[in-house]
């Protein structure tokens, strides 16, 4: 150990949403806080390889599709002038803005930022190895692990091959593929299938399950499948790879069912692993599971009393939005010994396919299994003036509510701006003392024309089903 060890009240490892939430809450309550970030820039995987760049890509491609599909610009297609590399440059600009903003948070709040790889020496001491090999030590009464996750790499897939990518390395794609195999049809795989198809790339989407995004309401999942297929994506359900072979000019995937699929490149998007290896958590008695994740309590405390873990390193729900809240909850527990706040039960999902998907609450399948007497109200976007004006008529809003109490039980949206639209329904679902009923949407006044008006249309549609 070095002769000097810098003392802090709390140390946070990883500057993604979970780490940022913890660090800001701790420092605003008077603790002396250090943030250890492995990479040279703050923001974590969310900012550099995940949420921000992929959504910036998605936005650009969505606007391209909107332009090419708008009758006002008929005959003026710009497909050939916009490449994946060109769009990536725009994403890099967004990333830089995010890094500058997040760096200012730490400066303004007097959080010490240390760059290097963190390794536990004991429950209160961390060794930091900088990029040039310099080593320093810090100690703290409390430590929060927020190191995030990375794409899962099965050992029999050659990710060093120049045509085989994961969801991180695809952001360094240099050539312009004419075709791509996307293995894994979860959120990441479905989003990139939309992005590449929007750029005119031939897409084979390999799904290891029997339908896309099986955690969604089946009607919404079916709508996504239909829309992707209608736009030319080939979806292959219930398939697993037998082997993946890269060549100088492409990739071949052989399925266990005997199929052979050829493409210019392959994106492997099937699962993620926690970033646990460098931490040496075994030195403090922690045992991660096979996916590199740690078990935590409801206040995100690990089995070691003074060590907490938040975000993807703890597994489900693996959402940037939830990770930030987890960080704040863990910090509150550190400060006060406990936290009355808990992660909400109904966390909204935002899936940035084209069009996007968002949902909160129960699905029809869950309500049917639980034998809840429910009814459905729907609003199709093609009937809304705002959707007609903006030429975004694909999609719908679906409300699930209790037939007797009128309580809103679930909200499911498929279409442009779905991740924004969902929050209106979420806000009503969170109301207590009888405030959560579908009748709110009928009795309130919405701006016109707006996409929010879909709530009134869907509510009237649902109530008409139960009126005698």
82-119 confidence digits (pLDDT tens): 677 777 777 788 888 888 898 999 999 999 999 999 99
pLDDT given at position 50? 77
Q: Is 337 labelled as part of a ligand binding site?
A: no
What are 168-187's pLDDT values in tens digits?
999 888 888 999 999 999 99
Going by pLDDT thresholds of 50, 70 and 90, the confidence category of residue 80 is low
What confidence category does residue 2 fall into, taking pLDDT thresholds of 50, 70 and 90? very low
Is 246 annotated among the ligand-binding residues?
A: no
pLDDT value for 173: 86
- Rounded Cα distance between 208 and 221, Å, is 15
Is 61 annotated among the ligand-binding residues? no
Tokens of 9: 């009240």
Q: Is the pLDDT of residue 450 over 70?
A: yes
- Report the C-alpha gap between 35 and 14 in whole angstroms: 7
Q: Considering the chain, what percentage of its residues have pLDDT values greater than 70?
A: 96
pLDDT of residue 47: 76
**Is 136 assigned a ligand-binding role in the annotation?**
no
Q: What is the pLDDT of residues 325-347, one digit of tens each?
A: 999 999 999 999 888 888 888 89
55 is in an annotated binding site: yes
Joined together, the tokens standing for residue 112 give: 């010490």
Stronger pLDDT, 153 or 76, i.e. the higher one? 153
- In the chain the domains, ranked by start, together with CATH numbers, are 5-151+273-336 (3.50.50.60), 164-270 (3.50.50.60), 355-466 (3.30.390.30)
Ligand-binding site membership of 435 (annotated)? no
Q: Is 44 annotated as a binding residue?
A: yes
- Over residues 30-46, the pLDDT tens digits come to 999 999 999 888 888 77
Q: How much is the pTM?
A: 0.91
**Does residue 379 surpass a pLDDT of 90?**
yes
Q: How far apart are CA 270 and CA 59, in angstroms?
A: 23
> pLDDT tens digits, residue range 257-303?
999 999 999 999 999 999 999 999 999 999 999 999 999 999 999 99
Q: What is the average pLDDT value for the chain, to the nearest integer?
A: 92
| More confident position, 353 or 391 | 353
Report whether 198 belongs to an annotated binding site: no
Whole-number pLDDT of residue 221: 97
Is 186 annotated to bind a ligand? Reply is yes
Choose between 61 and 385: higher pLDDT: 385
Q: Does residue 148 carry a pLDDT above 60?
A: yes
Q: Is 148 annotated as a binding residue?
A: yes
Task: Give the pLDDT mean for 440-447.
Answer: 95
The pLDDT, as a whole number, for residue 439 is 95
Report whether 184 belongs to an annotated binding site.
yes
**Tokens linked to 153:** 């790499």
* Least trusted range by pLDDT, from 9-23, 72-86, 128-142: 72-86
Buried b (16+ CB within 10 A) or exposed e, 31-46: bbbbbbbbbebbbbbb
149 is in an annotated binding site: yes
Q: Say if residue 79's pLDDT is above 60.
A: no
User: Is 37 labelled a binding residue?
Assistant: yes
| Residue 185 marked ligand-binding | yes
pLDDT of residue 141: 96
Average pLDDT estimate for 198-214: 95
pLDDT for 288? 95
The pLDDT of residue 169: 92
Residues 439 and 459 sit within 8 Å (Cβ to Cβ)? yes
């Amino acid at each position: 150990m070095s002769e000097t060890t810098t003392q802090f009240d709390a140390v946070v490892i990883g500057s993604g949403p979970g780490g940022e939430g913890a660090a800001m809450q701790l420092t605003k309550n008077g603790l002396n806080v250090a943030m250890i970030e492995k990479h040279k820039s703050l923001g974590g995987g969310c900012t550099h390889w995940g949420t921000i760049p992929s959504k910036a890509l998605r936005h650009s491609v969505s606007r391209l599709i909107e332009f090419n599909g708008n009758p006002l610009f008929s005959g003026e297609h710009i497909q050939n002038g916009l490449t994946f590399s060109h769009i990536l440059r725009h994403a890099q600009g967004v990333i830089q803005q995010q890094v500058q903003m997040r760096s200012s948070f730490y400066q303004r709040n007097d959080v010490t930022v240390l760059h290097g790889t963190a390794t536990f020496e004991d429950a209160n001491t961390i060794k930091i190895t900088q990029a040039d090999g310099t080593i320093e030590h810090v100690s703290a009464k409390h430590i929060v692990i927020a190191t995030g996750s990375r794409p899962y790499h099965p050992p029999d897939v050659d990710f060093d091959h120049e045509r085989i990518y994961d969801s991180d390395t695809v952001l360094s794609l240099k050539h312009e593929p004419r075709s791509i195999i996307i293995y894994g049809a979860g959120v990441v795989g479905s989003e990139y299938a939309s992005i590449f198809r929007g750029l005119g790339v031939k897409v084979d989407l390999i799904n290891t399950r029997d339908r896309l995004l099986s955690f969604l309401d089946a009607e919404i999942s079916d709508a996504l499948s239909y829309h992707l297929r209608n736009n030319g994506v080939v979806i292959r359900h219930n398939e697993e790879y037998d082997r993946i072979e890269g060549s100088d000019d492409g990739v071949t995937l052989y399925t266990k069912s005997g199929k052979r699929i050829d493409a210019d490149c392959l994106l492997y998007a099937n699962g993620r692993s926690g970033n646990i290896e460098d931490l040496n958590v075994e030195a403090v008695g922690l045992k991660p599971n096979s996916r590199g994740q740690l078990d935590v309590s409801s206040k995100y405390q690990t089995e070691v009393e003074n060590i907490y873990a938040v975000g993807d390193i703890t597994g489900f729900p693996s959402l940037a939005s939830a990770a930030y809240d987890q960080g704040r909850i863990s910090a509150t527990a550190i400060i006060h010994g406990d936290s009355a706040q808990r992660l909400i039960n109904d966390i909204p999902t935002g899936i940035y396919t084209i069009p996007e998907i968002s949902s909160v609450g129960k699905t029809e399948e869950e309500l049917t299994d639980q034998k809840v007497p429910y009814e459905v109200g729907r609003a199709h976007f093609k009937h809304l003036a705002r959707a007609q004006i903006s030429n975004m008529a694909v999609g719908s809003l679906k409300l699930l509510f209790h037939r007797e109490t009128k309580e809103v039980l679930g909200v499911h949206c498929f279409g442009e701006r779905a991740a924004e639209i969902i929050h209106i329904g979420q806000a009503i679902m969170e109301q207590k003392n009888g405030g959560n009923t579908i009748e709110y949407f009928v009795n309130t006044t919405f701006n016109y024309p707006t996409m929010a008006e879909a709530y009134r249309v869907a509510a009237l549609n649902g109530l008409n089903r139960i009126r005698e």
